[in-house]
Amino acid sequence: MKKAKLSVGLVHYPVVDKSGKIVCTNVTNLDVHDIARACRVYDVDRYYIINQMKEQLMFVSRLLDFWRTGVGANYNHMRRTALTMVRTASTIEETVADIGGDLEIITTSARNMEHDRQTTFKELRESLRDNEKSYLLLFGTGFGMADQVFPGTTLLEPIKGVGTQDYRHLSVRSAVSICLDRLLGPW
């Protein structure tokens, strides 16, 4: 049973592309719906789509309006329910300000990274259960969040699979679901 408030943020900027260049990625319909559903299942407080491009946020707002109040709301109640916690923000800073209060930012990556503040799934699960502060769990798009996002945050250990090749590059939707179950699941 969690006492803390946990929000999820999907970062479209700043992320890196294949060549390591900092870019802003486009929102995908699947990421909005699938991650919102996972957030609903695990009682996440808010799911922020973070994108600095106005047109992209307008696309998300139109999509949310359709499913929350438009034709879609009557067509599929389950989807409307799943989307209630979705918010938009232009930047990570704006997301942090919107949540407010005593907030710890948790970052994720498939890679092994050097970082001064790291946590394990076990430790973070216990923190979520035992204290009442707020957490923002950030996930990347593109080829992952840019280096500048990580300072001042706590890095969560990567999800490791099995097999000799140590392949870990999950889609962001899979990564969110696995993390939420490890952190909040009633197992």
Ligand X SMILES: C[S@@+](CC[C@H](N)C(=O)[O-])C[C@H]1O[C@@H](n2cnc3c(N)ncnc32)[C@H](O)[C@@H]1O
Q: Which of 110, 125, 131, 181 binds ligand X (CB under 6 A)?
A: 110
Tell me which stretch binds ligand X (CB under 6 A): 35-43, 78-86, 102-110, 121-129. 102-110
Q: How far apart are the first and last CA of the chain?
A: 11
Question: Is 4 among the residues that bind ligand X (CB under 6 A)?
Answer: no
Question: Is 109 among the residues that bind ligand X (CB under 6 A)?
Answer: yes
Q: Which of 89, 128, 175, 180 binds ligand X (CB under 6 A)?
A: 175
Helix, strand counts (H, E) of the chain: 7, 9
Question: Is 105 among the residues that bind ligand X (CB under 6 A)?
Answer: no
Q: Could you tell me the two tokens for 32?
A: 């909005």
Question: Is 16 among the residues that bind ligand X (CB under 6 A)?
Answer: no
Judge contact between 13 and 50, C-beta under 8 A: yes
Instruction: Tell me how far CA of residue 76 lies from CA of 27, 36, 73, 116, 176, in angstroms.
Output: 22, 14, 6, 45, 23
Q: Which of 13, 48, 135, 139 binds ligand X (CB under 6 A)?
A: 139
Question: Is 47 among the residues that bind ligand X (CB under 6 A)?
Answer: no
Phi first, then psi, for residue 12 (nearest 5°) are -100, -15
Residue numbers of the site for ligand X (CB under 6 A)?
A: 108-110, 139-141, 143-145, 158-159, 168-172, 175
